[in-house]
Amino acid sequence: MAEFNASTKDLGEVSVIYLQGYLDAHTAPSLENTFSNLIEKGKYCTVVNFTELAYISSAGLGVFMAFIEKMRENNGDIKLSSMSDKVYNIFDLLGFPLLYEIYKTEDEAVNKFIESKNLEK
Amino acid sequence: MKSKNHKLEENELTVKSRTENLSAIRNFVSAGALEIGIPLKIVENIILAVDEACTNIIKHAYKYFPEGEIIVKLKFSREKFTVIIIDHGVPFEPETIPDPDLQTYYRQHRVGGLGMYLMKSLMDEVKYVSVPGKYNQVLLSKNLLTTH
């Protein structure tokens, strides 16, 4: 049963992960692999698009917590975008908006990375 | 709410202690709660709380032993919807779980205790009962008269 899927799009400096379906303790390892693969390739600027994510439990939230520092230590970040109200409410309940940048659209999140890279140059 | 047509009823599901069964547990609870007319938004909160409780059982009570049993029972009256989850693993001591602190999670790269916090936030009552050597039981209740 394909209850969860994470696919990646390479935009050069920025990578976008598209989540689909149900992210729980069973499917979280699949997303961990996606993040590990990006880190292996030296890709530290990640936008996670939540448009098609139907459900998230704390095991799913844990994946973002597991990788955020690694990304930031390497001058990158995990920025989140396009959450349904239902998913956002869970992030909000746990105070995640204090730790993560959350944007309405994928484009906004990607552009934030590009702006900050331009400032560095 | 359609519950006036129901007296006190009960419903039960037994699955093995594997994370692959979380979706079956969610579907079971969701179907039962929707059937008696609980609004979808509240059902979504209930199934998340149940998922967190069962994930804790798989990880901590059974320590990922895949042949343990998890029994999920639904009980409802006009006033209250209760999910009772029973396991035969290591007793859980909820008082040993600290309240979540995001800065600590950030430093430790993990989120232990978050599930417990979600359960307490999303439900009206979370109660643990353990009979050592026999079973552990967690009761998750939602008051139906106060919900909108």
Q: What is the DSSP string of B64-124?
A: T-TT-EEEEEEEE-SSEEEEEEEE-SSPP-GGGSPPP-HHHHHHHT--TTHHHHHHHHHSS
Number of domain units in chain A: 1
Q: Is residue A121 part of a domain?
A: no
Instruction: For residue A31, give the amino acid letter.
Output: L
What CATH number did the domain enclosing A19 receive? 3.30.750.24
Q: For residue B118, what are its two tokens?
A: 């979600």
Show Cβ contacts of residue B131 under 8 Å, excluding neighbours closer than 6 positions: none
At the top level of CATH, which class does the domain B2-143 belong to? alpha beta
pLDDT value of residue B7 = 44
Answer yes or no: are the C-beta atoms of B92 and B60 closer than 8 Å: yes
C-alpha to C-alpha distance for B25 and A47, rounded to whole angstroms: 31
3 state DSSP class of A25: coil
Q: Is residue A102 part of a domain?
A: yes
Q: Is residue A72 part of a domain?
A: yes
Q: Is residue A42 part of a domain?
A: yes
Q: Is residue A118 part of a domain?
A: no
CB contact under 8 A, B19 and A98: no
Residue spans of chain B under pLDDT 70: 1-10, 111, 147-148
If contacts are CB pairs under 8 Å, which of residues 2-41 in chain A contact chain B? 3, 22, 24-26
C-alpha to C-alpha distance for B65 and A120, rounded to whole angstroms: 50
Residues of A in contact with B52 (CB under 8 A): 57-58
Q: Angle at the Cα of B65 (from B63 to B69), degrees rounded to 5?
A: 105
Expressed as residue numbers, the domain containing A32 is 4-113
This prediction's pTM: 0.91
Mean predicted confidence (pLDDT) in A101-113: 97
Q: Is residue A96 part of a domain?
A: yes
State the complex-level ipTM: 0.92
